[in-house]
Structure 1
């Protein structure tokens, strides 16, 4: 019976036991969002046999989450369950990238060179010490003369001591001459080694705090296989950065150099990855808000004596609600884009170190033909400012971001660039024009008050506004000033201006006036402005 069982076991095909395959992953592509990123990893491994196996990938960052991970098998693979394990991990060698391996080899080579230089210096110092010791011994010789010494033997002994002493001191001098080059060689070896170590430390490194990915899989056949892992992480971001350069030489022209600032703190470096920048915001609100039924009710009107007692409570209850209703809805860049997604695919592989400073990557250059003018606000400023009006002719919005402002290649300031939708117009500032001098004088009134005359029910204010061009360049000037406005029929407002303004209630702002004129070099434009407010007696102006 036992013999028959042995024959059956030997001739019956049994299922192969699952074997654990250890593999590593490599980040090949990254899509960065304004808040977060999507990583694409490639895992290559060799299945020793067809059938079921367990794949162990022990180089994922410790912050990895299984719920934010997707696995896609290559041809000939079937995937089962997978999990992440952060403890009882198998030991692994210190992860080094190819660049780190080359830098480590250079450090080791220079360490050997440093040892050789140190040994050479020690050898020179030994020669100096030996020669100086020999010279000291010969100079201190006090041995007694032999009994049969003759003048000839004494002279021979003295000559020998002198010659040996001279030879020893010459050897010491020769060795000392080699001492300085040997010291310099060691110093250079130390400097080269320090630079190599710094270069090694500066290279992006693989993550040392890691977690393991365990995947159950079935291979159709033995051989090379791949698995693609898509992983979403939060500690990454990008934002636009602009350089705006306005030039008026040979015609008004505005160039916008677009760049991006990319940063990440995922715990591992992205080395030589294909980088895509997306304006999508998957981490923000994806569904519309919910409206809840609002119950209103009426109650008996309180008596007069209750109003005084409850006035404080009523004010506390009503004021927050009134303020909330009056506050404008917050404006965000995402809402201004109305769901449009801008994607930039960077044309070259990129390395982004974890925890390092923002990596700045250039994108492209846009050219515009702006409308340039000088905007003057004499009520607050002493000079006019350059403003360029541009229309976005591209089919994509310009995303919000920091912008450096240049005029004729000279830095004049910085600003925040809001979203500019396709076809939308915006005004961009480009610094002060020191040659356009502004003044706003209020001449003396009869009562001695500067530009203001007030009675019990009337107030008059006058001003003389001037813009003077002291430079050599002609400018189109847009002059802005203001007068009060009234919404009460009993408060009468009369405005006199010479010349009359070209525009009133600028941009829907009541009481804001604008004049537009060309100002040649050496010329001056003056505007007189007066307004009078009158109201019934017994009323007070506020």
Structure 2
């Protein structure tokens, strides 16, 4: 005997399901029959409900965007029998929006972007006292320095990856000297600097970035 869905539009109902596996696919079978009224309302059926452990990590590139972006990373996700498609995102009880769940990749970790988190405040400020311009013979030398401040206003520690970049010399007339980068890791080909930090609740960390660029004084370079 089937059960009739009679609750309000938009409600979600959990059903008993089983999974049937084939060599290249799998299917969900709803074992409990239901009758859905023809009343024009929308009813959503939960095929499966799982509690999945995830690692949460923040990412920010304050040179481009000063907001921090939260990512959930799920390991061993291939065992969950997830289906590709649109997904609704909720975090700490709040609706964040929609995303596309891509389960066609071959990576061991499934990353899901949860969007911006205003609980993490990031500033990238130019240090004017360390910024200078010099003329050395036929060359011009500019030195620039920045301080990146990351504050965790949340109630729990966070892991966050910060990225910035040194200028890349485009020809032999240009020389870039890396002066300070707070023990970050530098990618040789791209000059991208990466810092991986853990910040305690209500605490902040500061990073220093300083470099100089020497180039012919008859050329104009735009340095941020």
Relative to the length of structure 2, the TM-score reads: 0.67
Is the 1:383–1:435 contact (alpha carbons within 8 Å) kept by the matching residues of 2? no
Report deviation, 1:495: 1.9
Ranges in structure 2 where 5+ consecutive residues have no aligned partner: 1-18
User: Which of 204, 210, 214 is the equivalent residue of 1:530?
Assistant: 210
Q: Give, in whole Å, the separation in 1 of the partners of 2:155 and 2:91.
A: 17
Q: What root-mean-square deviation, in Å, do the aligned CA atoms of Structure 1 and Structure 2 show?
A: 3.9
Report deviation, 1:540: 5.0
User: Which of 56, 59, 79 is the equivalent residue of 1:372?
Assistant: 56
- Mapping 1:373-452, distance limit 5 Å: 373-395=57-79, 398-421=82-105, 424-444=108-128, 451=131
1:423/1:527 CA distance change after superposition, 3 Å: closer
Q: Give, in whole Å, the separation in 2 of the partners of 1:526 and 1:437.
A: 12
Report deviation, 1:529: 0.3
Q: Give, in whole Å, the separation in 1 of the partners of 2:26 and 2:145.
A: 55
Q: Give, in whole Å, the separation in 1 of the partners of 2:46 and 2:174.
A: 58
Is the 1:406–1:413 contact (alpha carbons within 8 Å) kept by the matching residues of 2? yes
1:541/1:383 CA distance change after superposition, 3 Å: closer
Report deviation, 1:539: 4.9
Q: Give, in whole Å, the separation in 1 of the partners of 2:49 and 2:101.
A: 16
Report deviation, 1:481: 1.9
Report deviation, 1:513: 1.6
Is the 1:497–1:527 contact (alpha carbons within 8 Å) kept by the matching residues of 2? no
Is the 2:133–2:140 contact (alpha carbons within 8 Å) kept by the matching residues of 1? no
1:425/1:454 CA distance change after superposition, 3 Å: farther
Report deviation, 1:402: 1.7
Q: Give, in whole Å, the separation in 2 of the partners of 1:406 and 1:484.
A: 39
Is the 2:59–2:160 contact (alpha carbons within 8 Å) kept by the matching residues of 1? yes
Considering fraction of residues, name the structure with more strand: 2
Relative to the length of structure 1, the TM-score reads: 0.31
Equivalent position SS for 1:495: strand
Q: Give, in whole Å, the separation in 2 of the partners of 1:462 and 1:360.
A: 55
Report deviation, 1:509: 7.6
Report deviation, 1:453: 4.0
- Mapping 1:124-203, distance limit 5 Å: none
1:400/1:540 CA distance change after superposition, 3 Å: farther
Provide Cα deviations, 1:426-474, integer angstroms capped at 9, x if missing partner: 332224433321111112258xxxx574765433322111012234322
Provide Cα deviations, 1:154-176, integer angstroms capped at 9, x if missing partner: xxxxxxxxxxxxxxxxxxxxxxx
Q: What corresponds to 2:164 in structure 1?
A: 481
Is the 1:452–1:462 contact (alpha carbons within 8 Å) kept by the matching residues of 2? no
Q: Give, in whole Å, the separation in 2 of the partners of 1:357 and 1:510.
A: 54
User: Which of 173, 182, 186 is the equivalent residue of 1:504?
Assistant: 186
Q: Give, in whole Å, the separation in 1 of the partners of 2:145 and 2:154.
A: 29
Provide Cα deviations, 1:286-345, integer angstroms capped at 9, x if missing partner: xxxxxxxxxxxxxxxxxxxxxxxxxxxxxxxxxxxxxxxxxxxxxxxxxxxxxx943324
Provide Cα deviations, 1:142-195, integer angstroms capped at 9, x if missing partner: xxxxxxxxxxxxxxxxxxxxxxxxxxxxxxxxxxxxxxxxxxxxxxxxxxxxxx
Is the 1:399–1:420 contact (alpha carbons within 8 Å) kept by the matching residues of 2? no
Is the 2:28–2:47 contact (alpha carbons within 8 Å) kept by the matching residues of 1? no
Ranges in structure 1 where 5+ consecutive residues have no aligned partner: 1-275, 277-339
Provide Cα deviations, 1:117-154, integer angstroms capped at 9, x if missing partner: xxxxxxxxxxxxxxxxxxxxxxxxxxxxxxxxxxxxxx
Is the 1:474–1:521 contact (alpha carbons within 8 Å) kept by the matching residues of 2? yes
- Mapping 1:263-282, distance limit 5 Å: none
User: Which of 492, 495, 515 is the equivalent residue of 2:195?
Assistant: 515
Q: Give, in whole Å, the separation in 1 of the partners of 2:77 and 2:197.
A: 28
Is the 1:392–1:421 contact (alpha carbons within 8 Å) kept by the matching residues of 2? no
Q: Give, in whole Å, the separation in 2 of the partners of 1:397 and 1:486.
A: 48
Equivalent position SS for 1:372: strand
Q: Give, in whole Å, the separation in 1 of the partners of 2:134 and 2:25.
A: 59
Q: What corresponds to 1:469 in structure 2?
A: 152
Report deviation, 1:390: 1.9
